[in-house]
Amino acid sequence: MGNTPPNKPDSEVYSFADPSIESKPMDIEAIPEETKAGSEAGSEAGSESDIGVTHFPVEPFIAKGGGTPGRFLGLLIGALIIGAVLDYVFSLVSGFSMRFFLLFPIVFGSLYGWFVGKLGHAIRARSGAGSTAVVAIVFMCGMLTYSGFQFGYYLIGTDPDLKPGESFFESLDRRATKGYIIHGKRGSKTNLGYTGTWIYWMIEMMITAGFATYVARSKTSGPYCEVCDRWNRKRYFGPFRFDAVVGHKAFVAGEPTAMFVPGASDHKVKITVYDCPTCPEDPLAIQYTGTIGSGKTMITHAAFMVYPHEALPAFEAIEMIAGQVKG
C-alpha cells in the first residue's frame, strides 16, 4: 500500500493516558485465545503501558496517486465520451435546467465527476500524492464538458431564439447581449447584462470542473496495494456506542484499546479497516468516524490513520466485546 508507519520508539508515540478521563480498559479475559496470540505476535510493533493500553506507531493516511499511461489514456477517452453523453442529455432539458442560478453547474459537475470517478476506480487510475494526472484530466474535461453543453444547446436547437444560419459564437454573443436573467423570489428578475453574463458563464464552467474534480478524486483515491495492483479490501466495524471524543483521541494516538469507553445514547463510532488480503505484512489504513447527535446539530470527529498490521486483532477484539448498535 506504500503507507508504512515509521519505526518510532515507544517514547515518541503519542500517549492517551489522560488522568482527567476515566477510561475503561478492555476485558482481556473476554478476548479469544487466537486474538491474544495475534496481539502477542505483534508485540514488537506495539507496546503495552502500565494501565493496559496498547500503543501502536501511527501516522496520518495520505493517498498516493499512480497508474500506467494506458490507464490515464483510457480515463481521458472515457471522460470525453461521458461528457458528450451528458451534454446531449442536459441539452435536451437546458431550457429548464439553466433557470436555476448556480445550482445547475453543481449538479452537472457532480454527476459528471461521479461517472468519471467510477471509471477511474474501475481501471485503477489513482489520484493522490505523487500524481496529478487524474485531477488534471477531470478538471480539463470538466471545463470542456461545460463548453460542450453550451454547444449542445445551440446544436440541438433548444435555443428558442436561434436564428437560421447563426454560428455558435454568434449565438453566444446574442445570448450575452440579451443577458442572463436571475429569477428571484416573488417573480423578481435580475439581468446580469452582457459582461456579467460572460463572467457568469466562466464561473459556471469553473464550478462544473471543480465539483467534477472533487467527486472524481474521492472515487479514485484510497488505500491501494501497489504490490498486488488493486484496491484494498474494506471491512466495517460498528457502529459502537462509544464516547466519540475520547475514542477519537485514542485512535489518533495509536491506542485502540483505550477507545472502549461507553458514551451517551447519541454517540456513535464507526471504524473502517482497509487491508490487502494477500499481503499480511502490509500496514492497515483505518478510518475513524465518530458522531454526536443527528441532523443539523450533528458533530463529527473523523480521522484516517495508518496502523501496523499487528494492530488488527485489537480492532477485531473491540468488535467482539463491545457489541453493535443497530439502526
**Nearest in space to 103 (alpha carbons), one of 206, 207, 185:** 207
State residue 154's pLDDT score. Answer: 86
φ/ψ (deg, to 5) at 301: -120, 110
State residue 110's pLDDT score. Answer: 96
State residue 8's pLDDT score. Answer: 38
Q: In this predicted model, what pLDDT tens digit does every residue of 145-181 receive, in sequence order? A: 999 998 988 888 677 788 888 899 999 999 999 988 8
Q: In this predicted model, what pLDDT tens digit does every residue of 104-160 receive, in sequence order? A: 899 999 999 999 999 999 999 999 887 889 999 999 999 999 999 989 888 886 777
Q: Are 34 and 259 in contact (CB under 8 A)?
A: no
Collect all residues with Cβ–Cβ distance below 8 Å to 324 and sequence separation of at least 6. Answer: 238, 239, 240
State residue 263's pLDDT score. Answer: 78
State residue 33's pLDDT score. Answer: 47
State residue 23's pLDDT score. Answer: 37
Collect all residues with Cβ–Cβ distance below 8 Å to 242 and sequence separation of at least 6. Answer: 259, 260, 261, 262, 263, 267, 268, 269, 290, 322
State residue 98's pLDDT score. Answer: 65
**How far, in Å, CA of 315 to CA of 41, rounded?**
15
**How far, in Å, CA of 106 to CA of 218, rounded?**
16
Tens digit of pLDDT at every position of the chain (327 positions): 444 444 433 333 333 333 333 434 444 444 444 444 444 444 444 544 334 568 899 999 999 999 999 999 999 999 999 999 999 998 887 666 666 778 889 999 999 999 999 999 999 999 988 788 999 999 999 999 999 998 988 888 677 788 888 899 999 999 999 988 887 777 778 889 999 999 999 999 999 999 999 999 999 999 999 889 999 999 998 888 889 999 999 999 999 888 888 878 889 999 999 999 888 888 999 999 999 998 889 999 999 999 999 998 888 887 777 654 444
Instruction: Tell me the pTM.
Output: 0.75
Rounded to 5°, angle at Cα 300 from 104 and 309: 110
Q: Which residue has the cell 470538466?
A: 142
Q: Is 97 exposed, middle or buried (0-12, 13-18, 19+ CB in 10 A)?
A: middle
**Nearest in space to 254 (alpha carbons), one of 300, 318, 311, 309:** 311
State residue 95's pLDDT score. Answer: 64
Cα dihedral across residues 301, 307, 312, 318: positive or negative: negative
State residue 51's pLDDT score. Answer: 40
CA dihedral 141, 147, 150, 154 (to 10 degrees): -110
The b/e string for 200-213 (b: 16+ C-beta within 10 A; e otherwise) is bbeebbbbbbbbbb
State residue 97's pLDDT score. Answer: 62
Q: Is 298 exposed, middle or buried (0-12, 13-18, 19+ CB in 10 A)?
A: exposed
Q: Are 157 and 165 in contact (CB under 8 A)?
A: no
**How far, in Å, CA of 236 to CA of 243, rounded?**
18
Helix (H, G, I), strand (E, B) or coil at 159: coil
The grid coordinates of residue 81 equal 465520451
